[in-house]
Structure 1
Amino acid sequence: MSHIGTPPCDKGVVLSDALAKPCAAASRRWTLLAAVLGSSLAFMDGTVVNVTLPAIQHQFNASVSDVQWIMEAYTLVLAALLLVGGALGDHYGRRRLFVIGIALFATASIGCAMSSSALQLIATRAIQGIGAAMLIPGSLALVSSAYPLAERGAAIGTWSAFSGITTAVGPVAGGFLVEHYSWKWAFLLNLPISILLLLICLTKVPESFDKKDRDSVDLLGALLVTLALAGIVFSLIDSQNEGVSTVVLIAGVGGVIAFILFFWMEMHKKNPMLPLGLFRERNFAGANLLTFLLYAAMGGSLFFLPLNLIQVQGYGATAAGAAFMPLVVIMFALSRWAGRLVDLFGSKLPLIVGPLVASVGFGMFAWPSINSDYWSTFFPAICVMGLGMSVTVAPLTTTVMNAVDTDRAGTASGVNNAVSRVAGLLAIAVFGIVLTRQFDSALHSELVRLQVSPATLSSILAQRQKLAGIVVPVDVPHADALALRHAIGMSFVSGFRWVMAISSACALLAAISACFFIDGKGAAAITKQR
């Protein structure tokens, strides 16, 4: 999924000592507003779409692999182009690329709303991802260029606060639109924001360039990493339906080869999008390993939570969106407190404790069955996971920023941000395989136990790729239909528990990685050492 709560290092780039060209105070305020609205478009879109997936699946009669691609297409393109998006802005003009990103995102949003099939929606979601890859680094670059270093802290605080608010509002707004109107309005919601944003950018926001980065646009690297991720993710998702077919093997091998070529090219390129030399720093390498493991757990597991809440537990879309609110509120409320943990305890301790607490939270999600009370099951799990993530994110960002020299802070933060998104991208595909296999096994056992008629059995098995979205035939007697719905729900819960157990294990491994790779120095000690 797209992240619930902002990913690590989203704020990092504006902390770097970039070539700022401070503008007038009024222009700064407009620039900050544009940055807030632009990043909000990208952040809110991910959380809004998450709760629309069951409705989209039902309308298009789509399989879960189709639903995965609706989310993966956006995340894949965003993750692959995130690093090059900022460099393009430096090269061609930050405002210019930001405006192009807005226009592309808005146009793609219209395309999403007008889609008449899952394939069309997947394609327009990919175009949205291109626009988001311009918006996210572009919003931060605009702030960085407009504010002098001494004033960026306040700008960061404002940007972060409003990003947290829009992230919290997103699932509830999306759920309300789905429940009372249509899932299409979740995409059309982007249009008024985009129009207002375009007007502000074209009339109030000054243009800026960074001439020293004219040769840093690594378009070939972006193409290779896109092909690599697309090939690997396609092979993982398609194997859920077709098994290890020739197409799956070709896509997977092609993705691996593209990754090898990408890393080889990055090692030899003068200005690579992914400077591999950064990983020689132990703290930086350790922080990114921790990021990958923890955000794989978060992104992969929480993708399936709305499906559980809506299709199995019977929540409305609005209630399912509101179920995520405690996570966002906890992370937002504790962000300032968590930011001081590195100064007080060093980076090692919070980066061990945070993932350990999150691991417990993920494990708690495996407890609920069908018709479980939210306040005694999902709510405690979300709160514990939120506490663990809160303890982790700010120290993780600080560790990444402190691991490199100031002039490379923007690059380092971009790499870590991309790692978190790639982790969720791959985890959704891998966890989908686990859930599908367990669902099929459990469903087969349940259908044998119920001794359903051959016609009903054939109808149910023909839809098994929908998982909990299976529709029971209308001619089945009411009592038998209830039993079948219960069997389908329990089969999904069985697979969901495996997903959450793996997520818990990934978070535990993240804590273990901090033990071995992260040192215990605080920010003050690192600064003194330099």
Structure 2
Amino acid sequence: MSSISSTKATPSSSATASSQSGLLKQPRAVWAVGFACIIAFMGLGLVDPILPAIAHKLNASQSEVTLLFTSYNAVMAVAMLVTGAISSRLGIKGTLLSGIVIIALFAALGGSSNGIWTLIGLRGGWGLGNALFVATALSAIVMMSKSGTAKAIILYEAAIGLGISVGPLLGGELGSISWRGPFFGVAVLMVVAFISLSIMMPKSTAPKSARPKTSILDPFRALKHRSLVVFGVAACLYNFGFFTLMAYAPFVMDLNERGLGYVFLGWGVFLAITSVFMAPVLQRRFGTVKSMCWMLFLFGLVLLAMGIWTSTQWVIIAAVIVAGGLLGNNNTLITTGVMNAAPVERSTASAAYSFLRFIGGAIAPYTAGKLADHFNHQVPFIVGAGFVILSVLFIWMNKKHINHVDQVEAGH
């Protein structure tokens, strides 16, 4: 199979399956994809601690360096629209391996580059590979898991959290040697991921002729569902704040590569812990939508604090780490919501949602750099906080279109 069916299980059958399969009782293929996810998401954290070093070594401005995130996210946003069409033809394993190869290639080329604009372009190629891998990995884990959608998403977010938390530590250590180190480190890790996935994940037994072909227009058709649009626009708005923190916070912490690595290690660890252990509790007790709104509201306040006390180093460091916990909760909550938002194939829903989400991630980093150039270091965080609060208001104004996601999950 190359995509996830939107057919919902009946409560009785799902309850039986859930009782028989716990969170850790997963098929071998799920663990193979999860392991590859850990390595793939180490790539994001590996690069973050070296942003100031890149600016210094390549004689680039802060706004130019933030384009490393802009090109990455812009390509990811567009590529998300075609991931379904590609995976339905190559199959899940073929698409995952293709994404890994592309990431490894462009990471290695990035480590060999000598100019900021060449590096920006290569990061766009990296984003293409990541789009193929990320969208397909989520679909694969949800489809192959025996524990239901919610637990499958927890596993996916746990893999992301582990990768993001370990990545900055390794990136800081390699970056303290050379800014090129993390890029080559990603390439090596992708080779490891390729080998492990090739060995551990079985090929699809279904013949190619039996695979349902996904159209490139399917994500656009999926956006006819108001629920997906609400989640996507909200994610676009809050990603403005998220990538402002990711791309610009390293420039105001006044730390070396190793120091930045440890700060973002704390960020990633907190993200991993909350995404796995806290988010499900919040969802059960308060519901998906209400919990999302509170997490985003608190994240907005954290960004506002960063904007007010930008020159106070310990405030920025603490805020980054606390933000990891809030984002870990929100990532699990909103991903679960998207998977249950509309009566379309989950891979298609993920592609449509991710297209909207990464638009915010593409605009925010460069905007943050330009705001700092024209005003001061405080303005990017204050503007980011405004966008995050706006996402809360948008969700609350449209909650009637997405309140059903908790009822859908309860049916599983």
**2:272 aligned to which of 329, 332, 337:** 332
1:528 and 1:435 map into 2 onto residues whose CA distance is 46
Shift of 1:277: 4.5
The equivalent residue for 1:297 is: 241
Q: Give the aligned residue type for 2:394.
A: S
Relative distance call for 1:528 and 1:177 in structure 2 (3 A) is: closer
- Is contact 2:83-2:351 (8 Å) kept? no
Shift of 1:83: 3.2
Query: Bigger shift: 327-336 or 501-510?
Result: 327-336
Counterpart in 2 of 1:107?
105
What is the alpha-carbon distance in structure 1 between the residues aligned to residue 154 and residue 288 of structure 2? 22
- Compute the displacement of 1:364 (Å): 0.9
Q: Is the counterpart of residue 196 in structure 1 residue 192 in structure 2?
A: yes
| Offset at residue 114 of structure 1 (A) | 1.1
1:423-442 matches, within 5 Å, as 423-438=360-375
| One-letter identity of the residue aligned with 1:418 | F
Q: Which runs of 5+ in 2 are unaligned?
A: 9-25
- 2:136 and 2:332 mapped to 1: Cα distance? 22
Q: 2:260 aligns with which of 312, 316, 320?
A: 320
User: For 1:46-445, what aligned pairs fall within 5 Å after superposition?
Assistant: 46-143=44-141, 147=144, 149-150=146-147, 156-179=153-176, 181-208=177-204, 214-218=212-216, 271-279=217-225, 281=226, 283-309=227-253, 313=254, 315-335=255-275, 336-370=277-311, 372-374=312-314, 377-405=315-343, 407-438=344-375
8 Å Cα contact 2:30/2:145 also seen in 1? no
Deviations 1:145-188 (A, max 9, x none): 6x365577666544432321111011121111111x11111011
Corresponding residue SS for 2:218: coil
The letter for the 1-side match of 2:340 is: N
Structure 1 contact 342–398 (Cα < 8 Å) conserved:
no
CA distance in 1, matches of 2:330, 2:363: 21
Letter aligned with residue 403 of structure 1 = A
Unaligned runs of 5+ in 1: 1-12, 19-26, 219-270, 439-494
Aligned residues of 1:35 and 1:139 also touching (Cα < 8 A): yes
Q: State the AA in 1 paired with 2:203.
A: E
* AA of the residue aligned to 2:71: A
* Identity %, equivalent residues: 20
User: For the Cα contact (< 8 Å) 2:222–2:348, is it kept in 1?
Assistant: no
Q: Residues 416 and 339 (structure 1 numbering): CA distance in 2 closer, same or farther, change over 3 Å? A: farther
How far apart are residue 15 of structure 1 and its match? 9.1
Q: Give, in angstroms, the shift of residue 14 of structure 1.
A: 6.9
Farther-moved stretch of structure 1 (103-112 vs 168-177): 103-112
Tell which structure's C-alpha radius of gyration is larger.
1
Closer, same or farther in 2 for the Cα pair 1:161/1:144, shift >3 Å?
closer
Relative to structure 1, the CA distance from residue 526 to residue 216 in structure 2 (aligned partners, 3 Å threshold; closer, same or farther) is closer
Distance 1:352 1:200 in 2: 38
Task: Indicate the structure whose relative CO is greater, using CA pairs within 8 Å and at least 6 residues apart.
Answer: 2
| Alignment check: 8 A CA contact 1:343 1:523 kept | no
Instruction: Specify the code of the residue in structure 2 equivalent to 1:345.
Output: F
* In structure 2, C-alpha distance between the alignment counterparts of 1:164 and 1:528, rounded to whole Å: 25
Going from structure 1 to structure 2, the CA distance change for 1:325 and 1:200 (only over 3 Å counts) comes to closer
Equivalent residues of 1:343, 1:522 under 8 A apart: no
Per-residue deviation at 1:136?
1.6
List per-residue Cα deviations over 1:247-299 (Å, max 9, x = no partner). xxxxxxxxxxxxxxxxxxxxxxxx433225433x3x43332232121111111
- Cα pair distance change 1:211/1:338, threshold 3 Å: farther
SS of the residue 2:159 aligns to: helix
Q: 1-side partners of 2:146 and 2:30: how far apart? A: 15
Instruction: Give, in whole Å, the separation in 2 of the partners of 1:373 and 1:201.
Output: 41
- Seen in structure 2, the aligned counterparts of structure 1 residues 427 and 212 have a Cα distance that, compared at 3 Å, is farther
Partner secondary structure for residue 385 of structure 1: helix
Seen in structure 2, the aligned counterparts of structure 1 residues 167 and 114 have a Cα distance that, compared at 3 Å, is same
The one-letter code of the counterpart of 1:273 is P
Change (3 A) 1:90 1:354: same
TM-score by length of 2: 0.83
Matches of 1:168 and 1:35, distance apart in 2: 18
* Residue 201 to residue 285, structure 1, CA distance change in 2 (3 Å): closer
Count of aligned pairs: 390
Paired position in structure 2 for 1:499: 380
AA in 2 matched with 1:137? A
SS in 2 for 1:82: helix
The question of whether the paired residues in 1 share the 8 Å contact of 2:70 and 2:361 is answered with no
What amino acid maps onto 2:52 in structure 1? P
**Superposition deviation, residue 522 in structure 1:** 6.4
Cα distance, 1:278–1:196 mapped onto 2, change above 3 Å: same
- Any idea what the Cα deviations from partners look like across 1:316-358, whole Å, max 9, x if unmatched? 1111122223432333222233224344333442233222211
Question: What's the secondary structure of 1:284's corresponding residue?
Answer: helix
Q: Partners in 1 of 2:338 and 2:149 — Cα distance?
A: 19
Contact kept, 8 Å, 2:310 with 2:316, in 1: the verdict is: no
Please give the alpha-carbon distance, in whole angstroms, between the structure 1 residues aligned to 2:139 and 2:330: 25
